[in-house]
Amino acid sequence: MSTVTAPSSASTSPTTRSMWRGGRGILLVGLLVLVTALVPVLLSSPGTEGRPLDPGDSSDVGAKALAQLLGGRGVSVERVDSVSALISAAGPDSQLLIGDTDFLSEADARRIAGSGQDRLIVGAVPHLDVLAGGLLVKEHVRTRSREPRCDLRAATGAGSAHLGGVSFTAPAGGAGCYPAAGHPTLVRYTTGGRTVTVVGDGAFMTNLRLAEDGNAALAMNLAGARPRLIWLVAPEQWDPTLAGPEGRSLGDLIPSGVSWAVVQLAVAVGVVALWRGRRLGPVVAERLPVVVRAAETVEGRGRLYRARRARDRAAPALRAAAIDRLAPRLGLPPTAAPDEVVAATAARTGLDAREVRATLYGAVPADDGGLVALAGYLDTLERQVRDS
């Protein structure tokens, strides 16, 4: 056909200038977003995150208010963040407060239990079976204002307080207060000559709740039972590495080259991603003509007939089609009356006229089986007319 040289080509790749021109708006908006996100972070004071039940924390979940109240009543509060410090600080006139201490290992719990001090355990701390032997956790209950309903002086003096969290089954000889569904949420009992007090939840001691109900009184009564209160809190930076017997963790045993090789492999993965991710030219889109089968409407009508079991529509359609095909073969006009068609068909095939009439102009079949049979009869009738 034709061989023509086309007009010359034109590059469509972006130049540095066009990229700068197109991208500077986006860059500016991105910078603005970054600045507006960073400014409040930089201006605000660090460490706003609350540390639950920390005597030095003044946020809602902290317990600085309680610590100050205790100090005002002549109870010295010593904040420690490790079990070793707790043991060494403990003296004969001290009580241990164990609150938000998820980091405790079982060995730590045994050391605390063996230290021979009074203990106030707040919340469902780990290794409760070691720290408060004989006590059984019953179930989780809602924290709300509850009545003491016991004869423990610390509780009756304070009256109602916010308690809940978990309920317990007190060991024999223990006192249980603030019951929820019959099980106490505060239990005080004596084991090994030491008083152990367990409360299901520490909410009543927090800065947020201390002023409500009898919370402050209860907290003072419980925490201020001894002149010194050794308060165990979670350490600022808790090192979860499980050190081996020689103090060397698994991480220490891996040569440092390996982790850096992993870093290098990550770089390699990045390079491979860049390699595979760069497409050779843009994706080509194409407007395609609509793809719709012409028979779709017929199929839809068939499904509708099927869904409604529309034999009263299907049977006349089949009969009309058969009659349309029969009439020319019988030499009849398309407008022939039923009687003529029946008579001509019966004469041609030798079938009984009533049978032919029932097939071509009969009643609507009563069920689907009847419809299938009718289709078969019509086919047979047409064949007989054709072959005769």
Partner 1 sequence: MALTGRAGLLAALGALLVLAAPDPPMAVLGVALLLAALVVIDLLFAGGVRGLRFHRDGERLVRLGESVTVGLVVENPGRRRVRGVVRDAWPPSAGSAPRHLRVDVPSGQRRRLVTTLTPTRRGDREAVTVTVRSLGPLGLAARQGSHVVPWSVRVLPPFLSRKHLPGKLARLRELDGRHPALVRGQGTEFDSLREYVVGDDVRSIDWRASARRSDVVVRTWRPERDRRVLIVLDTGRTSAGRVGVAPGVAPRVAPLPGQASGWPRLDWSMDAALLLAALASRAGDRVDFLAYDRTVRAWLSGASRTDLLSSLVNAMAPIEAELVEADSPGMVAAVLARAKRRCLVVLLTDVNAAAMEEGLLPVLPRLSSRHTVLVAAVADPRVAAMASGRGTAEQVYDAAAAERLRGERRRITARLRGQGVEVVDALPEDIAPALADAYLALKAAGRL
Considering only residues 321-380, where is the footprint of partner 1 by CB under 8 A? 321, 324, 334, 368-369, 371-372, 375-376, 379
Q: How far is the CB of 104 from partner 1 (least distance, A)?
A: 36
2 binds partner 1 (CB under 8 A): yes
- Residues in 274-293 that interact with partner 1 by CB under 8 A: 274-275, 278, 280-282, 284, 286, 288-293
Q: Which residue in 52, 93, 92 sits closest to 75, CA to CA?
A: 93
Using CB under 8 A as the binding rule, the residues of this chain from 169 to 208 that contact partner 1 are: none
Site string for partner 1, 230-259 (x = CB under 8 A): --------------------------xxxx
Q: Give the integer Cα–Cα distance in Å for 238 and 240.
A: 6
What gap in Å lies between CA 9 and CA 85, rounded to an integer?
Answer: 80
What are the angstrom distances between the C-alpha of 245 and each of 82, 105, 122?
Answer: 19, 15, 32
Quick one: which segment of 17-25, 138-146, 272-280, 340-348 binds partner 1 (CB under 8 A)?
272-280
> Given candidates 47, 114, 133, 302, which one binds partner 1 under the rule CB under 8 A?
302
301 contacts partner 1 (rule: CB under 8 A):
yes
Binding residues for partner 1 restricted to 4-43, rule: CB under 8 A: 4-13, 15
Q: Among residues 286 and 387, whose Cβ is nearest to partner 1?
A: 286
At closest approach, how far in Å is the CB of 254 from partner 1?
12
Q: Using CB under 8 A as the criterion, what x/- string covers residues 127-166 for binding partner 1?
A: ----------------------------------------
Pairing of strands 175-180, 76-80: unpaired
Integer CA distances (angstroms), 316 to 60, 237, 310, 354, 378, in order: 81, 86, 11, 18, 12
Which residue lies nearer to partner 1 by CB, 219 or 322? 322
**What is the Cα–Cα distance from 279 to 250, expressed in whole angstroms?**
43
What x-and-dash track marks residues 66-95 binding partner 1 by CB under 8 A? ------------------------------
* Residue 289, helix vs strand vs coil: coil
Rounded to a whole number of angstroms, the distance between the first and last alpha carbons of the chain is 60
SS3 257: helix
Instruction: Give dist(CA 169, CA 265) in Å, integer.
Output: 56
**186 touches 200 (CB < 8 A):** yes
Q: 24, 306, 354, 386: which one contacts partner 1 (CB under 8 A)?
A: 306
Counting residues that bind partner 1 (by CB under 8 A) gives 71
Q: How far apart are CA 202 and CA 175, in angstroms?
A: 19
At 305 the three-state DSSP class reads helix
Answer for which of 30, 243, 260, 354 binds partner 1 (CB under 8 A) is 260
Of the candidates 126, 135, 120, 89, the residue with the CA atom closest to the CA atom of residue 105: 126
Q: Which of 29, 31, 250, 320 binds partner 1 (CB under 8 A)?
A: 320
CB of 363 to partner 1, least distance (A): 16
The secondary structure of 173-210 as a DSSP string is: T-EEEEEETTEEEEEEEEETTEEEEEES--GGGSTTTT
Among 298, 337, 347, 353, binds partner 1 (CB under 8 A): 298
Task: Tell the smallest beta-carbon distance from residue 385 to partner 1 (Å).
Answer: 17
From the list 185-193, 197-205, 241-249, 318-326, the region that binds partner 1 by CB under 8 A is 318-326
CB nearer partner 1, residue 310 or residue 351: 310
Tell me how far apart the alpha carbons of residues 162 and 100 are, in angstroms, rounded to a whole number: 18
